[in-house]
Chain A
């Protein structure tokens, strides 16, 4: 079946620190991969996506590269800000099946 495993949190960083949130997947077909972000009291918002192997998704300083050989889609940001504090969800989609990871809560302290 299709599933996503992501790094458990919570993650606490100081402002300007480097961020990595690991995500690996298992899929029966050819998935598209996504990162969603959820700010307090809000729904999930698409952060970035990649639709095929070696694609790099990027947005707001965040990046993730679709690695088929390691079945991974790790999220990175070079310098986090307090405003990046949120819950981050890795997700995969195969046909009509969208699966989410358990979410990683990030807190960035000034």
Chain B
């Protein structure tokens, strides 16, 4: 069964550094998402992406965050200047249409020191 893949599985960075989290969604999916989860708790929506543009974003997704689909397969989340509170698990998800289930990757654990 096709799956969403995320790299790296764990990223350690220093405060103030830029990080890029990478995702390869399922190939025929059209809608892409980033969520984050702090300490195994609530799954928080960050951003959704469709037709090469952001369709929705949460208040968490401020100017330090950006997303890009640089080619036909990758979907990236960039944090320009990381803060300690950005430490979390970041999950990428994709789906075919808007009322179908989301398919999640296994996440990237980001640790900001």
A residues within 8 Å of B by Cβ?
Answer: 32, 34, 36, 41-46, 49, 51, 87, 89, 93, 95-100, 102-103
Q: Is the CB of A96 within 8 A of B43?
A: no
What's the Cα separation between A71 and B76 when bound, in Å? 36
B19 at the interface (CB under 8 A from A): no
**Whole-angstrom distance between the alpha carbons of A38 and B6 in the complex?**
16
Q: Please name the residue on chain A nearest to B106 by beta carbon.
A: A43
CA distance A96 to B30 in the complex (A): 12
With beta carbons under 8 angstroms apart, the residue of B42, B45, B91 that contacts A43 is B91
Please report B residues at the A interface, Cβ cutoff 8 Å. Answer: 4, 31, 33, 35, 40-43, 45, 48, 50, 55-56, 91, 93, 98-99, 101-107
Cα distance A46–B103 in the bound complex, in angstroms: 8
**Contact sample, A vs B, 27 pairs, CB 8 Å cutoff:** A32-B99, A36-B104, A43-B4, A43-B91, A43-B105, A43-B106, A43-B107, A44-B43, A44-B93, A44-B102, A44-B104, A46-B101, A46-B103, A51-B99, A87-B40, A89-B43, A93-B99, A96-B48, A96-B56, A98-B33, A98-B45, A99-B45, A100-B35, A103-B40, A103-B41, A103-B42, A103-B43
How many residue pairs, one in A and one in B, have C-beta atoms under 8 Å apart? 50
Please report the C-alpha to C-alpha distance between residue A107 and residue B33 in the assembled complex, in whole angstroms.
29
On chain A, the residues within 8 Å of B43 by CB distance are 44, 89, 100, 103
Q: Is the CB of A44 within 8 A of B50?
A: no
The residue in B4, B91, B101, B104 that gathers the most chain A C-beta atoms within 10 A of its C-beta is: B101
- Among candidates B42, B48, B103, residue contacting A100 with C-beta atoms closer than 8 Å: B42
